[in-house]
Structure 1
Amino acid sequence: MYAYQSLSEVARYLYRPPRTRQDCADAIARVSTATAWAHDGDTLTLAVCRNDSRHVIGEILLKLADARARQVEIGWVFHPAHSGRGYATEAARAAAVAAFGPLRAHRLFARLDTRNGASVRLCERLGMRREAHLVENDLDATGWGSEYIYAALSHELAR
């Protein structure tokens, strides 16, 4: 996790600075004690590995944003050395199937930095539509950032 979460080129599209080694250890400890999938904020984080290796190349996150309305946020972070090979698409597609299947989501959505072209393309490959463009809605150390919201309903991705 530290190999990619510590990179400034990865963190520039996230809503936080690069993670330290201790930040990663703390995140792994939280992930390993995840709660049941029942309440707002419950999160499932999955490590992504290639079939031929146990080396973690990224992660997929599913967060129960609204339990009553069955709204699930999806997110991903991957090491840039593994980009362009379809790993993120394969992992995100599997997570979407799980969200709409056993996790019973009604709506799956992703929030992403408007400058993150790779994530825009991934959302579109998954069949998600752009629902919103939030202009200068986030302020960090580098200034104002804007965000896209992509989403799909269960019956839309079932097609």
Structure 2
Amino acid sequence: MALYPDFPLSTERLRLRPFTRGDVDGVFAYRGRDDVARYLFDPPLSREECALAIQQRTNQTGFLEEGDRIVLAVETAEDGNLVGEVSLIWRSVEARQGELGWIFHPDHHGRGYATEATNALLELGFGAADMHRIYARCDARNEPSWRLMERLGMRREAHFREHGLFKGLWDEEFYYAILRDEWLSLRHA
């Protein structure tokens, strides 16, 4: 199944759109920060590394085969301010599963932007992409991230304790998921 959505995806306060070369400074403003990189696989990125990442992301706008990803810039509808990014990865064609991810600038935390943007990707995943299950994962210490998963109606399915080394320390990770039927019932509740 090929899926190339029409962009931008719009919510009440946000626009989710493909990245452009003009986003380098906006992405560097959050991806260059230690506090943002703390729970990411990458260290803080340099401006040049952000430019390379954006170059890759400009083509990550649809699904053609397993492993493809949609990675979108999240900007405020009111003023076009880049506040973060969201992603949906097609993890299994046969099992119709995807993985949801997000990174937001700390200056914009606490405003509901992450909830609003990730709900738009759940809509895409369970709607046009016809996924059966979408999961997300985070470092167990990243409380804002797992609280977001709970706000989305996801349930904690796993807690992996000291399952791998992450930045020189033993990593603990939470996995959360939601099924299409569960998501539909939450929307109609």
TM-score by length of 1: 0.95
Task: Report deviation, 1:36.
Answer: 4.3
Partner of 1:17 in structure 2?
A: 43
Identity rate, percent: 45
For residues 37-69 of structure 1, the C-alpha deviation after alignment (integer angstroms, 9 at most, x for no partner) is: 132210101111112121211000101111221
Task: Report deviation, 1:35.
Answer: 6.6
Gaps of 5+ in 1: none
CA distance in 2, matches of 1:40, 1:18: 29
For residues 66-117 of structure 1, the C-alpha deviation after alignment (integer angstroms, 9 at most, x for no partner) is: 1221110000000000000100000011111111001111110001010111
1:137 maps onto 2:163 in alignment = yes
CA distance in 1, matches of 2:107, 2:164: 28
Runs (4+) of structure 1 moved beyond 6 Å?
none
CA RMSD in angstroms, aligned pairs only: 1.2
CA distance in 1, matches of 2:60, 2:120: 20
Which letter maps to 2:88? L
CA distance in 2, matches of 1:115, 1:148: 9
1:153 maps onto 2:179 in alignment = yes
Gaps of 5+ in 2: 1-26
- Shifted more, 30-39 versus 142-151: the winner is 30-39
Return closer, same or farther for 1:10/1:138 CA change in 2, 3 Å cut-off.
Answer: farther
1:122 counterpart (137, 148, 160): 148
Partner of 2:23 in structure 1?
A: none
Partner of 1:32 in structure 2?
A: 58
Q: How many residues align?
A: 159
CA distance in 1, matches of 2:106, 2:61: 30
Bigger radius of gyration, 1 or 2? 2
Partner of 1:87 in structure 2?
A: 113
Check whether the contact 1:38–1:67 (CA below 8 A) recurs between aligned residues.
no
Per the alignment, in what secondary structure is the counterpart of residue 153 of structure 2? coil
